[in-house]
Amino acid sequence: MAKKKKNLSPKYQPWVDARKRFHLSHAHVQMARELGMNPKKFGSLANHKQQQWKLPLPEFIEKLYEKRFGKIRPDDVRSIEQMVHAKKQKQAERKKQKQAKREEQKQQESNSHPELAPDALDAICFDDDLPF
């Protein structure tokens, strides 16, 4: 029975595929993302068996990361799935706050202007109704 793929956006799926294909850890994937590497180009970088002068891909990523950031590993290592889950939670929280703010503004508008309630709008005289 085939394993079911998780529903990730096309933005993150290549990273999960590269992690599985090249046997990378979550830390290596995060380092590569922070370096701005392209997961579709890992095949040309991971050719260390035919081209002996190349480093294995995990070591290559670690070397570049240390050179650029001056540290061996990221401070907080999270998997792609954890990052996507945290992002979705943050978006849901923002959406909830936005909705609550809209509801609060509606309540304030209806309380501060009772004469402008939706039922009373018909009684207001507009400029189009004036005879001149």
- Report the largest interatomic distance among the alpha carbons of the chain, rounded to a whole angstrom: 92
Give pLDDT tens digits for 59-118. Answer: 999 999 999 999 999 999 999 999 999 999 999 999 999 999 999 998 888 777 555 555
Q: Kindly list the domain boundaries of the chain, sorted by start residue.
A: 13-69
CB–CB of 35/64 below 8 Å?
yes
Burial class (CB in 10 A: 0-12, 13-18, 19+), 64: middle
At residue 97, the pLDDT reads 95
**What is the C-alpha separation between 34 and 130, in angstroms, rounded?**
65
At residue 50, the pLDDT reads 87
131, pLDDT greater than 80: no
Calculate what percentage of the chain has a pLDDT beyond 70.
80
**What is the C-alpha separation between 16 and 8, in angstroms, rounded?**
9
